[in-house]
Structure 1
Amino acid sequence: MLNTLEEHIKRRWADISADTAGEQYTPDDVIALIAEIIASKLEDGDRLLKIYDCTCGGGNLLFGVEDRIKEKVNRLTQTFGQDWNDALYALAKIESRFRVDSKIEHGNTLTDDKFFADEFDVVVANPPYGVDWKGFQKDIRNDKTQRFHHLPSVGDGQLLFMQHLISKLNGTGMGVVVHNGSTLFSGDAGSGESNIRKWMLDKDLVEAVIQLPTDEFFNTNIYTYLWVLNKQKPDERKDRVMLINASEKFKPLKKNKGSKRKEVDEANRLEIVETLAQWADNDYARVFDKEFFYFNKQGIMLTNVDEQGETFATRLKEGKKSLKLKPVKLDNGDRTLTEFIIDEVPNSAKWDDLKQYFTEDIKPFVSSLDYKEQPLVVTTEKAQYSFDNEQETLIKEVLGKQEALGCGKIVVKCSFKKKTKTKPENIVITVELTPDTQKDYEIIPYHRDSDENQAAIAAFMEKYITKPFEYLDNVVGVEINFHKVFYKPEQLRSVEEILDDISELDQQLKELEDSLLL
């Protein structure tokens, strides 16, 4: 009863004091699970166990883990914590006075680490979710401690805390960190978030990720995840990661506590810890080689083709990217430009006359031009050029005879050049024919061996890409997708059951109609 009352008082004080969005008081059952995971990896001994929480708040997670570890393992412990919230820091500081050699400091961990010279055996934390770091991004970007290998988006600092905690682990250290789902999959390949995940897996720091039930915390009903970190993984666990879907491992509360409607009771906690210890697949847990979570984001430059599979690129001389035209007339159906299709205006005295056409005629003509929507015809001294939408090809016409040039673009540009020492003010209009290209990318499974990986990319392209293309950059990303791994399709009813239901409804409707006619 005392523990329940103590938790209630701490939670209410923490909720009132936590004025930053995303700060979550860690409930007692989650603390117990974290402590069970850590204790399962410890042995009795004389060596001091140093435990650290970089966002300790009122201290409930830090001190709760310490108390439960001491119940399970015969070890001397010492706690270290830091928080920037005045009231929560005061709450933790008060409790630290009743503990042996506990050190609680005040300040922003990310910009002013009070334990910069220390390393720890165990780290735990429940850092704020979705809280931006705009206010101190200059300090983070100029940080000299080398804690931050990559920077996440400025809108969410969770993975900054993760990197900080990893930097505080000693050579055999371990940790359990609570995060929301964004740390698993936010950010595309090459983004700060993806690069942080890749760095963590490259260094083989992640032992497991555990999905907790929804409605576990007092002021949010989202899924939360425990990242289990370990710098001394057993040989059979090296370069491997376990995912545990514990979303159904809970007991409903008889009475809700705010948004908290569930708890991971003792029986389910022990089952989760045993699953992690067994390190084997079951119906809610799976072990993967870490590369399972990697993927190639292969950039390509596609060259579009016409109905006959031809591209204008084949018409160009080697090394050339376009064919420049010298038009005498442009016609898009709404507007025709003739005498103003010139590269330069040799006589600056004409500029006042030409300026109005540049602003009122030429510029709108070019800026609104879409050669696939408007019937643009480019006339040179020798030929006319246009684009055939139906065949998706450029057309060259000479003396009434048409020739298909392959899929391409008509690119028209105009610009105003200021007066120089040698040239007056002038309008420059250019028209050129280019291949029709577009950047794209393909997501392709990753292979650890570089030769195998490149072969897999080539095989994918040969199977799925039918247009001519060139390889662009390949970026390797990392995401951890619980839904993909543990997805269970909804069991659909049989056709017979559906037909029976329809028949029953028809009978009910008939009876209803009969009753209305009486």
Structure 2
Amino acid sequence: MDQDVASKAKALSNFVWQIAETLRGDFKQSEYGKVILPFVVLRRLDCILEPTKDAFLKAHAGLPPGIDEQTRDMMLYGAVGGGVRVYNTSSLTFAKIRAQNSTDVHKNLITYITAFSDSVRDVFLDKFLFTDQLKRLADATILWKVFEQFAALDLRPEAVSTLTMGYLFEDLIRRFSEISNETAGEHFTPREVIRLIVDLIIVNDDEKLRGQGIIRQIYDPACGTGGMLALAEEALKEFNPDIRVELFGQELNGESFGICKSDMLVTGHDPENIAFGNTLTQDAHKDRRFHYMLSNPPYGVDWKKYQEPIREEAATLGKDGRFGAGLPRISDGQLLFLQHMISKMRTDEVGSRIGIVMNGSPLFTGGAGSGESEIRRWLLENDWIEAIVALPTDLFYNTGIQTYVWLLTNRKERERRGKVQLIDASGERFWSPMRKNLGSKRREIRDDGRETITHIFHEMANGGGPWSAVSKIFDASDFGYREIRVERPLRLNFQSSPERIERLKLAKPFLKLDPADQDDVLNVIANRLPNTLFMERPAFEAALTKAVKSAGVKIGAPIRKAILSALSERDESAAICLDSSGKPEPDPELRDHELVPLKEDWKGYVAREVTPFVPDAWVDETYRDNADKCVGRVGYEINFNRYFYRYVAPRPLTEIDAELKTLETDIANLLKEVAG
């Protein structure tokens, strides 16, 4: 079925793409989408409204005077019928405008657009800026030609399903993004990836979704054109036709928002549930909680330009706000979206489930104490992560990098509590190569591959069975560690050699002295200090004090410190330097950090892994975690390669040698042809 839908959408996309060619010369290629996408939406709405146009106009003319706006809209929506929440009060349609030939086509289209109900009119005027594009088309004398081609396009719901329209928008956006060098993946996610996420977040909720009167609210904080929302609703309806599904979303890109909101309008959803704006700085659904949440936030996109409100919220509200767990590095905001979604979890007995696709960065970027690590710690210690699925590379239109689906819930089943399942679905058993590449997309997850991944997750497959190589279950604490600071003693020798004296001359405290004072210091060091190698700091300090006193020169603490630094060198055979309390002074250059598994006592780890190799090392017990105040800072990371590494044996040398000889022969033959 999906293949038929995709094929039909592809044929429609090819037809629309031919219309885009009409713009060549008058519009830049990067501007094609600003004309074509709104026209597709407009034609779709026209096809939906045309069958009930006459009945609607009668209902509109018969509205009682003085009626309030909300009641008026509900009556007019009813006149349109089919659960569609959009109307147009003009008597015009594409067919009527076309019948007038090219006469006043610009004026008629403006009249037609401005006669839409408020939500649609705002989309065309404010988000698509479509009236500006119509004027450009009219000025270039190609408006009629473009309009006539769209008027011939059959986008009636009985001819083109909502799902087919979704595929059509997806393909058009990909094409327009490619020719304008934009990031297509910011606008949509491949359908098979969405279907996988949807299957994974509902597979464990079978019993909760059965029966009458079930209501489920679905939310996408970066909803794009609404593909995730539409497919999530479709899956729930297939499982339970009587379920009521309410869709919510927010989108920053104006065109994507316009398409998504238009889709909500024509499928009978409340268009006001789709908000425009930046989710991270302007939460349009602030007081709402949702049953299911899905998202594919932009990868590696920095949040520098809107960091102030985010930092302010984190500092002011802390754990009571959305970003209290920590802030990731400024170059990547994926974990901000995830924290935002966590804040939308329901606290009732039903709870919430989240499916979010991200790249590898949120899994392991950042060491102990960093924003990323603290966010992972917060997620794992609250036991929200159910599973993480590694997807194949080359799945997305704009990037070939590896991606991962995170599955989270605040209502884990008993057997999953305290556990995290890792599934490596990157192998060939789950995907097939595409017959024709679409941008960077060279692979697609097969239907049977998707079903297998869902089965592995549902059954909690873990070792010993047929899926032991691709599914492993861990305690949440298995991903944690303590970063302890290991110190080694400072060992220095001292000597007033010419080379070391030259270092002193470049020291800042020395350069600040008057020339006369500089000469006095150099005289003391060069002429009164023995030019011998001191292996103990106290002995050298005593010799320095004696030399200064005998010369009658006074030196302050900064100069004394500069002398000790310039005239010293590290020497493993020298005596240990002690601080004022008689304890060994640590050498910053020899400082190291060990990562001790969270389940293991750090003292036993040091005794086994450190002391036998560096007996003079010790652990700095003042280096403690800010949260639990214990020795060592706690960190968390999830490294798939560590758990699913597959050794690939190198090819035999004889095989490599034979291949090199073949290449040498080929090159020699080519050179002969060139020379000949």
Which TM-score band (shorter chain)? 0.7 to 0.9
User: SS state of the match for residue 77, structure 1?
Assistant: strand
Deviation, 1:100, is 3.6
User: SS state of the match for residue 67, structure 1?
Assistant: helix
* Aligned counterpart in structure 2 of residue 48 of structure 1, from 215, 220, 228: 215
**How many residues in Structure 1 have an aligned counterpart in Structure 2?**
431
In structure 1, the residue matched to 2:441 is 260
Counting only pairs closer than 5 Å after superposition, residues 41-440 of structure 1 correspond to structure 2 as 41-42=204-205, 43-45=209-211, 46-74=213-241, 75-102=243-270, 103-143=273-313, 144=317, 146-148=321-323, 149-171=325-347, 172-248=351-427, 249-281=430-462, 282-304=468-490, 330-333=496-499, 353-354=515-516, 379-380=528-529, 386=533, 393-394=535-536, 429-430=559-560, 431-432=563-564, 434=577, 437-438=587-588, 440=591
Deviation, 1:54, is 0.3
User: SS state of the match for residue 61, structure 1?
Assistant: helix
Q: Residues 210 and 196 of structure 1: is their aligned pair in 2 closer, same or farther, counting only changes over 3 Å?
A: same
Q: Residues 377 and 159 of structure 1: is their aligned pair in 2 closer, same or farther, counting only changes over 3 Å?
A: farther
Task: Return the alpha-carbon distance in structure 1 between the equivalents of residues 638 and 387 of structure 2.
Answer: 11
Q: Residues 386 and 396 of structure 1: is their aligned pair in 2 closer, same or farther, counting only changes over 3 Å?
A: farther
Q: Residues 504 and 221 of structure 1: is their aligned pair in 2 closer, same or farther, counting only changes over 3 Å?
A: closer
* Aligned counterpart in structure 2 of residue 13 of structure 1, from 151, 173, 176: 173
User: SS state of the match for residue 80, structure 1?
Assistant: strand
Q: Residues 356 and 283 of structure 1: is their aligned pair in 2 closer, same or farther, counting only changes over 3 Å?
A: closer
In structure 1, the residue matched to 2:200 is 37
Deviation, 1:443, is 3.1
Contact kept? 1:48, 1:76, Cα under 8 Å: yes
Deviation, 1:20, is 6.4
1:471 aligns with 2:620: yes
Q: Residues 298 and 120 of structure 1: is their aligned pair in 2 closer, same or farther, counting only changes over 3 Å?
A: same
Deviation, 1:3, is 4.2
Contact kept? 1:304, 1:468, Cα under 8 Å: no
One-letter amino acid matched to 1:95 = D
Unpaired segments ≥5 residues, structure 1:
306-310, 313-324, 345-350, 366-375, 388-392, 398-404, 412-423, 510-518
User: SS state of the match for residue 131, structure 1?
Assistant: coil
Contact kept? 1:78, 1:100, Cα under 8 Å: no
Contact kept? 2:328, 2:336, Cα under 8 Å: yes
Contact kept? 1:330, 1:378, Cα under 8 Å: no
* Aligned counterpart in structure 2 of residue 447 of structure 1, from 590, 598, 623: 598
One-letter amino acid matched to 2:516 = L
Task: Return the alpha-carbon distance in structure 2 between the equivalents of residues 150 and 214 of structure 1.
Answer: 29
Contact kept? 1:444, 1:460, Cα under 8 Å: no
Deviation, 1:11, is 3.8
Deviation, 1:465, is 3.4
Task: Return the alpha-carbon distance in structure 1 between the equivalents of residues 376 and 502 of structure 2.
Answer: 57
User: SS state of the match for residue 105, structure 1?
Assistant: strand
Unpaired segments ≥5 residues, structure 2:
10-164, 463-467, 545-553, 569-576, 578-584, 624-631, 665-676
Deviation, 1:436, is 6.5
- Taking only aligned residues, the RMSD between alpha carbons, in angstroms, comes to 3.9
Contact kept? 1:44, 1:73, Cα under 8 Å: yes
Deviation, 1:302, is 1.4
Deviation, 1:262, is 0.9
Task: Return the alpha-carbon distance in structure 1 between the equivalents of residues 459 and 502 of structure 2.
Answer: 78
Contact kept? 2:496, 2:531, Cα under 8 Å: no
Deviation, 1:88, is 0.9
Normalising by the residue count of structure 2, what TM-score does the alignment of the two structures yield?
0.57
Identical-pair percentage? 31
Contact kept? 2:187, 2:256, Cα under 8 Å: no
In structure 1, the residue matched to 2:648 is 490
The one-character-per-residue Cα deviations of 1:29-71 (angstroms, maximum 9, x if unpaired) are 1111111112212231423111000000111112122212221
Q: Residues 95 and 357 of structure 1: is their aligned pair in 2 closer, same or farther, counting only changes over 3 Å?
A: farther
User: SS state of the match for residue 41, structure 1?
Assistant: helix
Q: Residues 32 and 501 of structure 1: is their aligned pair in 2 closer, same or farther, counting only changes over 3 Å?
A: closer
Deviation, 1:457, is 4.5
The one-character-per-residue Cα deviations of 1:130-172 (angstroms, maximum 9, x if unpaired) are 0111111110011146110200001110100010011111131
Q: Residues 131 and 378 of structure 1: is their aligned pair in 2 closer, same or farther, counting only changes over 3 Å?
A: farther
Task: Return the alpha-carbon distance in structure 1 between the equivalents of residues 433 and 608 of structure 2.
Answer: 50
Contact kept? 1:14, 1:88, Cα under 8 Å: no
Deviation, 1:81, is 0.3
Task: Return the alpha-carbon distance in structure 2 between the equivalents of residues 441 and 121 of structure 1.
Answer: 46
Task: Return the alpha-carbon distance in structure 1 between the equivalents of residues 201 and 234 of structure 2.
Answer: 12
Contact kept? 1:384, 1:396, Cα under 8 Å: no
Deviation, 1:264, is 0.7
Contact kept? 1:386, 1:396, Cα under 8 Å: no
Deviation, 1:254, is 1.5
User: SS state of the match for residue 164, structure 1?
Assistant: helix
Q: Residues 501 and 32 of structure 1: is their aligned pair in 2 closer, same or farther, counting only changes over 3 Å?
A: closer
Q: Residues 290 and 378 of structure 1: is their aligned pair in 2 closer, same or farther, counting only changes over 3 Å?
A: farther
One-letter amino acid matched to 2:385 = V
The one-character-per-residue Cα deviations of 1:361-385 (angstroms, maximum 9, x if unpaired) are 97xx9xxxxxxxxxx98954xx555
One-letter amino acid matched to 2:307 = Q
Task: Return the alpha-carbon distance in structure 1 between the equivalents of residues 309 and 640 of structure 2.
Answer: 34
Normalising by the residue count of structure 1, what TM-score does the alignment of the two structures yield?
0.73
Task: Return the alpha-carbon distance in structure 2 between the equivalents of residues 159 and 227 of structure 1.
Answer: 11
Contact kept? 1:331, 1:337, Cα under 8 Å: no
Contact kept? 1:250, 1:264, Cα under 8 Å: yes
Q: Residues 458 and 232 of structure 1: is their aligned pair in 2 closer, same or farther, counting only changes over 3 Å?
A: farther
Deviation, 1:429, is 1.8
